[in-house]
Amino acid sequence: MKLPSFKALLLHRFAKAVFFGLAILPFCWLALAAMTNQLGANPAEALLRALGDWTLRFLCLVLAITPLRVSTGTPALARLRRMLGLFVYFYAVLHLLSYSWFDMGFDFDDIVKDIAKRPFILIGFSGFVLLTALALTSFNRAIKLLGAKRWQRLHRLVYAVAGLAILHFFWMRSGKNNFTEVYVYAAILGSLLLWRWWHRVRNKPG
């Protein structure tokens, strides 16, 4: 019996549901760990950091879709890009809510002052604002309203989001002088952005 190919699996009607289930698993695990006191001595900080890490991981996945689609000749991968992009926003929202709740007690005035006072939080919040614009315009109706070219230009802001995310992570880790993970994510995102630049230059007419 011949097994279905990866391309065929991606086109299966339940493919998106399977990937949705996989993408929501980190949230379920963190929620369960929080409810059962398995997040260590400082659960608030552990939850905040973990949600930030998952935001970065999903951002890497989203930016990897096009290189994988082109290099493997698997156009069906594009079906996952919007959903994974919304998961980037989902985990970013949870990351921001965790900061607002655990660090600031949902005190709006203190949050505004803290954003203005601490550069790494200002950078992170700037990335969140850009992500919000991308999430709100990620649907077909937005493409029709903006036009395909304007929509594409707007969604290139994801590259700026990647840069801001790495800078936010770098400044956050600078207090502990621990940059190993920062360099790993920077290398991954840098490689993905470099591939896009190379692919665009290679395919440019003339």
Reported as half-sphere exposure (CB side, CA atoms, 13 A), residue 21 has a value of 5
How much of the chain is in helix, strand and coil states, percent to nearest 5?
85, 0, 15
Radius of gyration of the chain measured on its C-alpha atoms = 19
**Cβ-based neighbours of 122, under 8 Å, separated by 6 or more:** 115, 116
- pLDDT score, position 5: 65
Q: In terms of Cα–Cα distance, which of 44, 130, 157, 137 is closest to 94?
A: 44
Residue 132 in any domain: the answer is yes
Residue 118: its pLDDT value, please? Answer: 92
Q: How far apart are CA 115 and CA 99, in angstroms?
A: 11
Instruction: Judge contact between 76 and 10, C-beta under 8 A.
Output: yes
The residue segments making up the domain with residue 111 are 13-202
| In a domain? residue 97 | yes
Distances in Å between the Cα of 162 and the Cα atoms of 1, 12, 34, 103, 159 are 44, 31, 28, 24, 5
In a domain, residue 7? The reply is no
Structure tokens at 55: 């935001």
Establish if 1 belongs to a structural domain. Answer: no
Do residues 163 and 192 make contact, with C-beta atoms less than 8 angstroms apart?
A: no
DSSP state of 76: G
CA nearest neighbour of 142 among 196, 194, 86? 86
State the pLDDT at residue 115: 92
Predicted pLDDT of residue 65: 95
Please report the pLDDT score of residue 4 as a whole number. Answer: 56
> What parts of the chain have a pLDDT lower than 50?
1-3
The tally of domains found in the chain comes to 1
The closest of 49, 150, 157 to 94, measured between CA atoms, is 49
